Amino acid sequence: MWKFHIEGGHPLNGTVKPGGNKNEALPALMACLLTDDVVTLKRLPRIGDVLTVCDTLADLGVEVEWTSEDTLNLCAKNIRHYKPDKELCSHVRASILFLGPLLSRFGKVELPLPGGDVIGARRIDTHFEGIELLGAKLNFGNPITGEMKAIVGTDLYLDEPSVTGTENLLLLSVRCQGKTIIHNAASEPHVSGLCRLLNSMGAKISGIGTNRLEIEGVEKLNGAEHKISSDFMEVGSFLCLGAIGRGKITIEDVETHDLRFILKTLSRLGIEPLVGETSLQIDGTKELVMQRDLSGRIASIYSGPWPAFPTDLMSVAIVAATQAQGNILFHEKMFEGRMFFTDKLMAMGAGIVLCDPHRAVISGPSRLSGARMSSPDVRAGMALLMAAAIAHGTSEILNIDQIERGYFQVEKKLEALGAAIKKVSA
């Protein structure tokens, strides 16, 4: 067991590069199950969730070979069975993505219920409804079991634009008989990344980047090489940290075209980076002032499906708001447990009123003091790490494996920026 020890208050300066997008990497790993050929993934973040999925694939019989720190070769030619390991699946929510490719490969699946963050209920109804319309018969239990004789293309209208639901249906329908149309599909950049990988493997997907995807079924997929997009969640985290870090930070190797609504939303907190073609520069020495609505009322930031503000950035944005002048309402519309980490910020001195499980009012700026905390989930853990880095005094953060599920060697990146942080035995 490990923990982070942070001495807060050091100005943060320098350059940082984000890793690959975790939410693109995980379904990309699953795509290897659809072919006997080698699939090579580049800029693959070697984070906890990725390593867990790699172990699960290896247990199924997939050959998994790291050729560099962030490049992985996968070959599923000798895959042995369709039953992912129960213990491994319990550690990662994305294990639900085994449903589509294993049904495509074997015509049957036996999948333990997935694990992951404890941030509230996460429906899998969308997965079941879509997969059954493509020809499968599923039974919900622990494990989830299913079988299908043929994948028959059809017209699907999702009851919600579920990211993993859309990805599961893509992974299943690319080898269907005929055409599949997915209406109300998720359109996040990581979904588009999966579509590009599948097309490079021989799939025929159109409408990429929109909420209407058309898939012309093909009989066989081949190997491919694919570079994972930069993680805009990590970009957003370092952007919020840079804005309150009393220094100047440059974030390089960024797909800035994916950040337009994120930047628009963060501007309500006074965060205004200099946007380059592939970089962001943020000056944390400037005072942050929260915007108000034209009528003078307190502004709000709310989460929603893409292109709305991502739920995964709510936690880090809340920390940034504690250091800005003014008041603002955060409305988390997607998960009822996302806001519960705010009690730890309040213990550090933040001016926060938790109205209910979905809404919190932030008043700033607040002087934060170091504290001993435990990371409840990936994004809240990163938010607490940010708060500790700017707080007066020292902090300890336990349960850091939650943070490392989504951020690779984050302590080294922070240390390179000037933070006084150590990873020590707990």
Active site members: 117
248-252 vs 274-275, strand pairing mode? unpaired
Give DSSP secondary structure letters for 92-123. Answer: -GGGGGGHHHHHHHHSEEEEPPP----SS---
Is residue 330 within 8 Å of 265, Cβ to Cβ? Answer: no
Is residue 306 within 8 Å of 279, Cβ to Cβ? Answer: no
Q: What are phi and psi of 94, to 5 degrees?
A: -70, -5
Give DSSP secondary structure letters for 225-251. Answer: EEEPPB-HHHHHHHHHHHHHSSSEEEE
> Among residues 120, 161, 117, which one has the least CA distance to residue 305?
161
Is residue 254 within 8 Å of 280, Cβ to Cβ? Answer: yes
Token pair in block for residue 270: 């006074």
Q: What are phi and psi of 274, to 5 degrees?
A: -85, 120
- Measured on CA atoms in the order 97, 98, 99, 103, is the torsion positive or negative? positive
